[in-house]
Amino acid sequence: MSWTEQRIWLTGASSGIGLALAEQLLERGARLALSARREAPLQALAERYPGQVLVLPGDLGQESQVQAIAQAIDAHWGALDMLLCNAGSCEYVEAGAFQAASIERMLRSNLLSVAYAIEAGLPLLRRGRQAQLVAVGSSVTYLPLPRAEAYGCSKAGLRYLLQSLRIALASEDIAVTLISPGFVDTPLTQRNDFPMPMRWTAERAASEIITRLPARPLEIRFPGPFISLLRLLGSLPQRWQLAIGRRLARPVHKESRP
């Protein structure tokens, strides 16, 4: 597959993996509809690659804004060859002060935003060439980890959503690919306060994704050794997983509440 003239809707394109994906795809001649909350980075790309970029900012967690973006793509191109859902966020939970609001925010950011984009983008993909639906999940879904309750459940839901859609869309020849990265150096992970083994740069992650997407794989995982370790630990009996998780967990400090 040549990236030249491919019509791609890329969400979360203002920083991190999304920005690196946008730059590398544009260098390969793709046409991109770029969405993110921050418009300035998208406009900067449009100026660097004139004629290749549709700047369509918005909050992907708001269904009406996602529908408006898809309508603008329809007006400009009439179809999509790829929907690449990269937008998302990360929030950690402290069990001593558990709040359901954290779960709600992560579900909206990491799962509902993708569902909204799929609903709006599927009619356009059905008119595209060798259409492909892609979403960025996380390697956290291979092994339950402390403090990752909100982030992990949103990404686990995303995994199930894509795996189910893959079956439903197979008869229409719409490929569905899940991307499961380990730690990648982005503005989000730079806030982490724990070791991040085998961390990749965003540029390396984007290059790996772009190299492998044309084969229309079921899943793209990286880095290999880190993913293999997580999958091995995730296959252990649950009591063993609990023991490992307890060694990683921090002491719970219960917060007093009125």
Read off the CATH number of the domain in which 149 is found: 3.40.50.720
What value does the mean pLDDT of the chain take? 91
In this prediction, residues 224-229 reach a mean pLDDT of: 91
pLDDT reported for residue 252: 57
- Does a structural domain hold residue 39? yes
pLDDT reported for residue 253: 54
Q: Which residues pair with 174 in a beta bridge?
A: none
- Does a structural domain hold residue 2? no
Distance from C-alpha of 110 to C-alpha of 149, rounded to nearest angstrom? 13
Q: How confident is the model at residue 61 (pLDDT cuts 50, 70, 90)?
A: very high
The least confident of 4-8, 23-27, 141-145 is 141-145
CA nearest 19: which of 212, 202, 220, 222?
A: 202
- What's the structural domain count of the chain? 1
Asked whether 11 and 86 are in contact (CB, 8 A), the reply is yes
Q: Which domain holds residue 106?
A: 7-248
Q: Which residues pair with 200 in a beta bridge?
A: 184
Q: How confident is the model at residue 257 (pLDDT cuts 50, 70, 90)?
A: very low
- Does a structural domain hold residue 253? no
Asked whether 30 and 57 are in contact (CB, 8 A), the reply is no
pLDDT score of 160 more than 50: yes
Q: How confident is the model at residue 1 (pLDDT cuts 50, 70, 90)?
A: low
pLDDT score of 10 more than 90: yes
Percent of the chain at pLDDT above 70? 94
- Does a structural domain hold residue 54? yes
pTM for this prediction: 0.90
- Does a structural domain hold residue 257? no
pLDDT reported for residue 2: 87
- Does a structural domain hold residue 167? yes
The values of phi and psi at residue 163, to 5°, are -65, -35
Q: Which residues pair with 10 in a beta bridge?
A: 34, 84
